[in-house]
Amino acid sequence: MKAEQHGPRRVGVAPPPSVAPALNLMLALETAIVAVASMLQASTGMGMALFAAPLLALIDPMLVPGPTLCAVMVLSIVVAWRERVAIDRHMLAPAIVGLCVGTAIGTALFALLVDWHLARIFAILILGAVLLSAFNVHVRAGKSALLLGGAASGVLGTMAGVHGPPIALVLQHEPPERLRAMLCAFFAVGCAISILALASIGVFNVTAVGLGLKLLPGVAIGLVVAPIVAGRIDRRRARMAVLAISALSALALLLH
């Protein structure tokens, strides 16, 4: 995940002809993964990071958390702006306060664990996020719950690039339009703060920016396709598929 741990990688430099086909295949897979994840997020309000992050990590560990956060941030800004009338700012405020606290904790933990096997730590965090998402418990979206959900999301988002499960658990009983708008507004702010926090400890750098830019065509494809398929997606089945794929990907990372 940290650039120094995987050797130098010069974004924008033409690869040798012998490895070009493999790199092109990797890019196509990355674009397809981000496109599907973006379509799910833009149409249902869930799935972008939880679906994409573990799959991208299997292809290239350098794509998480920083580059994935870039892609999620761009998508979330677009969707949040498009559906801004549905955002409840009074509910969002305590969640953002918790988010800032959680991001600081996540950054400190990341700095302490940076010399560990980060791919396995990432896999464990993803499995934890999947388990949290699978629980259909009722949580009243009061200030305390929003504060704690935001803090947990800050920790998870900064360390694994996945902000969604804790805050989604708090907001899950909101109307679909408000849920989608609130989550995307939260993700936009959360990704931006996490990126700045990771940059402060040297984990997010120019290389990560270049890798993040590579993911943006997939985001664009997902945004275009989402309005076409939104009415045809079964939210329950899509949610179960995302959780299953995320869990399997995390297990593959853990056993790698």
- Tens of pLDDT along 205-254? 999 999 999 999 999 999 999 999 877 878 788 878 888 888 888 888 88
Cβ-based neighbours of 188, under 8 Å, separated by 6 or more: 73, 76, 77, 80
Largest CA distance in the chain: 57
Give 230's DSSP letter. G
Tell me which of 19 and 55 has the higher pLDDT: 55
Domain that residue 217 falls in: 18-255
Residue 242 within a domain: yes
Find out whether 82 and 97 touch, Cβ atoms under 8 Å: no
Tell me which of 59 and 235 has the higher pLDDT: 59
The per-residue pLDDT for 7 is 44
Q: In this model, does residue 199 exceed pLDDT 50?
A: yes
Find out whether 104 and 142 touch, Cβ atoms under 8 Å: no
**Rounded to whole angstroms, how far apart are CA atoms 39 and 29?**
15
Q: Read off the tokens for 107.
A: 């950054």
Q: What is the pTM of this model?
A: 0.84
Angle between helices 20-44 and 235-255 (to 10 degrees): 140
Residue 229 within a domain: yes
Q: How many CB atoms lie within 10 A of CB 212?
A: 22
Average pLDDT, integer, range 33-37: 95
**Percent of the residues in the chain that have a pLDDT greater than 90, as a whole number:** 52
Average pLDDT, integer, range 138-147: 88
The per-residue pLDDT for 13 is 52
Q: In this model, does residue 26 exceed pLDDT 90?
A: yes
Average pLDDT, integer, range 165-171: 88
**Rounded to whole angstroms, how far apart are CA atoms 159 and 2?**
12
Q: Read off the tokens for 89.
A: 């700012």
Find out whether 141 and 134 touch, Cβ atoms under 8 Å: no
The per-residue pLDDT for 18 is 63
Highest mean pLDDT (candidates 53-67, 126-140, 234-248): 53-67
Closest CA to 166 of 113, 103, 123: 103
Amino acid at 222: G
Closest CA to 162 of 52, 27, 40: 52
What is the DSSP annotation of 129-152? Answer: HHHHHH--------HHHHHHHHHH
Residue 42 within a domain: yes
Residue 2 within a domain: no
Residue 25 within a domain: yes
Model confidence at 14, pLDDT cuts 50, 70, 90, reads low
With tokens 């580059």, the residue in question is 67
Residue 13 within a domain: no
Average pLDDT, integer, range 35-58: 88
Residue 154 within a domain: yes
- Tens of pLDDT along 180-198? 899 999 999 999 999 999 9
Q: Read off the tokens for 164.
A: 């969604």
Q: Read off the tokens for 21.
A: 């086909």
How many separate domains does the chain show?
1
Residue 11 within a domain: no
End-to-end CA distance of the chain: 15
